[in-house]
Structure 1
Amino acid sequence: MGDLRNRLLQLLQDPRVAKLLADPRAQKALMQGLRFRGRVQERIDQRLERMARRLNLATAREVRELKRTIRRLEEQLRDRPSSD
């Protein structure tokens, strides 16, 4: 991932890329591309969640919620005065 970031930073320093990104048409196309990617990712996530429910599997969201609940319960136990 670091290599990709370095490559991106190199590209952003290129005057040709800066000139292209200054063009409102390029900005609009870039934003449309990002929105499209977001919509596609959202649809994929929804379908995966539906499939997981059908197969009676826990979704990533449910696992996160469960971990959060466990953490909260552990904190409550830790903060509880001992009965010794």
Structure 2
Amino acid sequence: MTKLLGDIVRMRDDMSAVKAKVGALETVVKRHIADEEKNILPQVARNITEKDLGMSCKDLVRDASRIRREEMRDWGGASL
């Protein structure tokens, strides 16, 4: 993922190449998210309780979403 981001920065003057790299980056990110949702998060859920987290899963998702929105706003980007 880091390499793709570096490539995008270096080729910023070639918009067709940038578009292709952004498409590749989108694919990598979507695969990563799918893997987390399918494999990693279910393992975490089996091994950790709300007591361990100090909050409910609903609260965790809400807080993570809020933080993501704030970070995207700080970067000048759109919400995901």
Q: Which bracket does the TM-score occupy, shorter chain normalised?
A: 0.3 to 0.5
Q: Structure 2-normalised TM-score?
A: 0.41
Q: Structure 1-normalised TM-score?
A: 0.40
Larger Rg: 1
